[in-house]
A and B are shown apart, each in its own frame.
Chain A
């Protein structure tokens, strides 16, 4: 009898102890295995990285928003970059490998993504990102690590300002805003413009500001911007803002936000009986813009980087052809820029002669002059910004149609 009682007590304690024991062992095992995992991954990465200098591979990092609110833009740019990698896979006798990381349309992730590219993957250069905000988030890391980066379509001036290691192959918003203002004033003969901007998107707010300054200058009338309406990323209902705009009777409405909201804005504007031309910036040119907006976006005008109707050189033609072959649709402007960003870097590596001297590569990128890319002639100024022409397109018959080119000054 006593034996059994003794056994029972023991058993209960043992059960408790067993539980603790199990938990403890599990935790210990997890931590060891994780440390081991991390070690192993590190080792393989380190060995990979060591291989770079001797091996036949040069790594170029790519960080783009592939998920989240800006996935469309990131995907399109990536397509261009991948195509360039297919068409020009080598430099200095070595293969170029793209290391692609998703920044999830989030600044913290952008910082992490680039840190990983720079530290783990030991890339020679970086392409990215769609979205000036994400590029800016990564700027410091790139600068400190001495890795040069080329942004395909980030247009906010702050991306390259004060950062010797960041470049871009597109024009900047100060220029884009001016062109749009001139378009409104001269082409459309507008005296009063209403702006509806994506207030939590620095690109949108910046572009709206530059447009506004220029337009007020052109009309010599501070009141010529009759209304500045705001909306947030992800908003779907703009009827209130549009009703207010309607009451102010503008000649033109400028909507420098992403295509996601802009298409809805124009649709709702039409439903509210607003019948004025809409102007927009480089983020509009996506297939979804027309799919969602349908009839409402007919006649809208936008600035962009590239037009398939006016291939600017032979490479341009080749790019358009190969893109059509591979993806079965027309290339977007940002795809062409993603393509060019890759080529600019490749060219710089070639000129530098040494894939490991990132400082030299950076210097060579800075010297890019009259480089023939798919988007035309690329020359980088002292800030690292490309001196480019602005292309104006309009939407006609559910298509983006080329209208005219505005030369850079």
Chain B
């Protein structure tokens, strides 16, 4: 039991903080802090700055750009990145398909894809959910039928985040519709988004943004060599991938940044002649959120410190559940601080309403997603009740 960071970890934290606050272009960090949609170029530029410094994929095998860090160092890396409003390396590349290819892919696939994936030369998107397969992912129906040296894919995916920027898709497809257990007949295919037969339809979200899409496949021919690992073992790879997706999903650094901003904005808003930041109820609300965030961060530190033997700590399931709730609570706080200004959502530069207040309600609405993606919070409760409490 020890309170403070070791001198080495303290130095590591300082090094990360300095890098993130000085080496990543300020306009990109400003855009993240303002909850503006980033352009594709901004994502790519930020990730290449990180990759050049060896900070894009530290959790990968060392051979492919990983950094043999401790779990605590990885935690510090992620939290400092979020606190500095640095866009994280694209999750589809760095957290999802990269580790899957590094673990289950062929040598040829590793060489072809991993360096380009780390540097965001290839932008990946995720072909998992379908209109009738959300939390119940194993019921997916998109099919791939073998025809000579190709797989022929037909079906539809949905909620494909940032698919409009994607060069390639990693896609779960049913390759054995006769398998006794439906999890057994699924494979993982990789193919370019400009393959004939692939079409993409953007879905407008509540905040007016277009970050998710539907993707349709009509007789899409995918070379057999683009199947990852073994045929019909795709479910195992998907579970491995989703396990990685939940790492860092608590987004504590990002919520901390929102609370810092909320306090600052509360000083700019006047109520009955005094700053809102002096209102006792507002102060209590912020103080309680800060305390809950501290509890979550300490839980994350407990979890990372005790997962060195490879097994996830039971409390890790708390992170996604509570992390999403606190992200949402922070966006709600910002809307409430904006108050009557929060309706000037698309006022733009012509409006006198400050940008943070303009985007507050759209962000709040957009953030409803965080308790739904990455395994909905109901799925997390099912995991806690089942695998921890034995219910």
Q: A and B: partners?
A: no
**B-to-A contact residues, CB < 8 Å:** none
Q: Which residues of A contact B (CB under 8 A)?
A: none
